[in-house]
Amino acid sequence: MSSVLTLLVVLSTGAVPDHKAEAVEAYRRKDYKTANRLLVPLAEAEDHEAAQKLADLYYGGHGVERDVRAAVHWYEKAAVSGDIIAIKNLGAIHMSDKEVLDLEKAEYWYKKAAATGDAESMGAMAFLALALHNDAKKSQEWSIKAAEAGFVEAMISVARGYFEGKGFPQDYERAHYWFNRLAEKDIAYGDNGLGMIYSKGLVGERDLPKALTHYQRAAAARLPVAQFNLGRMYMEGDGVEKDYELAVYWLGEAASRGEVHSILYIGNAYSNGFGVPRDDVRALTAYRISYSRIPTSELEHSIRSLEASLNPEELEEAKQLYEKIIGRELGMEAILPAARPPK
């Protein structure tokens, strides 16, 4: 009799399917309908990992009709276990999804995540300190905590804040510290910031060789503002020998990415024949594009002067180029010189 019972126990144990493993595998294969069917009973039985994955399915509309409120329900089930992903997702959803927008709930969840040392959540708390409480001091404190924890976006925000004096007291020494921290992480924004500090002598004496080195690093990483700064140095001979061709190359790279000051400088290059053949049609087009974003009396004067010097056919060509670029029928490349990488 005992042998029969033992056999039954063995057969029974072996017959129990591992639904969680099947659900995880189905999820991995993106067989979301199967995953959903297997996850529901597990999540209802307080399996927090299953609840988190089920919430993902509902939020993304994978294998089920998208249902933000159902996603919130299951994320809350998962958050009970301290699941940091579920907790952060709840903060993000309540902060950004119109259907369940609730900044106080967002703060509640992000504060829990921040308490675990999560840097991104600290950054969110900085935003919420302003959005919910209009507390600039608390926002600054959270931003610094997030930056010190290594959250790159917060590091950039703190560096910019100290450099520009917006949201932070203007302090070039502290800006230099944070720009340097970013540069050490190979973040181009940090190198560009160091370039600005050294080129202007904001911390100690001007050091143009150092500025050039940092601008070159950030420009090579395709940061448009750094490409402009580097192009400007070569165009003006600021700490380097003038090199119009190299200037136009870097200004063209920045202009192709929409950096407006570079577009203006490209206009100047065409107007004066600096590094490119003189071309008043392209100069006028570049000036008009720049003026649409930075309307200055000086730029307006340059536009009027060029308009007066062109014949009707040239004016029509410039008009067509401007309208097609502004209307996105053509890219900025339509008026840029052919890119030739520096030697």
Q: In the predicted model, is pLDDT for residue 338 greater than 90?
A: no
Contact assessment for residue 121 and residue 142, using Cβ atoms and an 8 Å cutoff = no
Answer yes or no: is 76 within a domain: yes
Average pLDDT over residues 279-292: 96
Domain count within the chain:
2
- pLDDT tens sequence across 295-334: 999 999 999 999 999 999 999 999 999 999 999 999 999 9
For the stretch 106-125, pLDDT in tens is 999 999 999 999 999 999 99
In a domain, 313, yes or no: yes
Of 37, 55, 81, which residue is a domain's last?
81
Specify if 315 maps to a domain: yes
Could you list the residue range(s) of the whole structural domain that residue 325 is in? 254-343
Give a yes or no: residue 95 inside a domain: no
Specify if 272 maps to a domain. yes
Domain boundary pick from 26, 51, 81: 81
109 belongs to a structural domain: no
From 27, 62, 81, the end of a domain falls on 81
Choose among 208, 224, 214: nearest CA to 193: 214
pLDDT value at residue 16: 41
Q: Using CA atoms in the order 319, 321, 325, 329, what is the torsion angle rounded to 10 degrees?
A: 110
In the predicted structure, residue 12 carries a pLDDT above the cut 50: no
Asked if residue 64 is part of any domain, the answer here is yes
Rounded to two decimals, the pTM is: 0.83
The average pLDDT across 135-158 equals 97
Distance CA 287, CA 294 (A): 10
